[in-house]
Amino acid sequence: MGWKVLIETDKVKAAFIESMLRNEGIPFVEKSTNMTPVIFGSGGSVKILVPEDKLEEAKKILEEGIKDD
């Protein structure tokens, strides 16, 4: 089973997305892009990866979370 990128976003949004995934029982891995953070930004960006067989389910959860936001 491989891992696929669900989204690349800033650390603040990543925390929100990870919370949604955790609540639905979907495993995830956060990988830093190792970019130097912008002084006034949110601390750089990260990629959130999910298992390949959970990617479609995770996308639906992400879409629903955005609608509710």
Q: Are 4 and 42 in contact (CB under 8 A)?
A: no
Residues 53, 54, 60, 63: is their CA dihedral positive or negative? negative
Report the C-alpha gap between 4 and 51 in whole angstroms: 6
Query: Average pLDDT, whole number, for the chain?
Result: 87
Q: How many domains does the chain have?
A: 1
**Which pTM value belongs to this model?**
0.80
- pLDDT one-digit tens code per residue, 42-61: 567 899 999 999 999 999 99
- Residue 16: domain span: 3-68
User: Looking at the predicted structure, is the pLDDT value of residue 2 above 70?
Assistant: yes
**pLDDT recorded at residue 20:** 96
Domain CATH code at residue 38: 3.30.70.790
The better pLDDT of the pair 39, 27 is held by 27
